[in-house]
Amino acid sequence: MFATTSTEGFEPALPGIERRTLVYGQLTLATEFRMQAGSTLPLHKHPYEQTGYLVSGRMRMTIAGEQFDATRGASWCIPADVLHGAEILEDSVAIEIFSPVRPDYLPAADQPK
Collapse the DSSP code of 109 into the 3-class scheme (helix H, G, I; strand E, B; otherwise coil) and give the result: helix
Q: Which CATH number fits domain 14-102: 2.140.10.10, 2.60.120.10, 3.60.20.10, 3.10.180.10?
A: 2.60.120.10
What does the pLDDT read at residue 43? 97
HEC-encoded secondary structure of the chain: CCCCCCCCCCEEEECCEEEEEEEECCCCEEEEEEECCCCEEEEECCCCEEEEEEEEEEEEEEECCEEEEEECCCEEEECCCCCEEEEEEEEEEEEEEEECCCHHHCCHHHCCC
Mean pLDDT of residues grouped by 10 in the chain (113 residues)? Answer: 74 95 95 98 97 98 97 98 98 98 84 59
Q: pLDDT tens, 11-40?
A: 999 999 999 999 999 999 999 999 999 999
Kindly list the domain boundaries of the chain, sorted by start residue.
14-102
In this prediction the pTM is 0.90
What does the pLDDT read at residue 112? 60
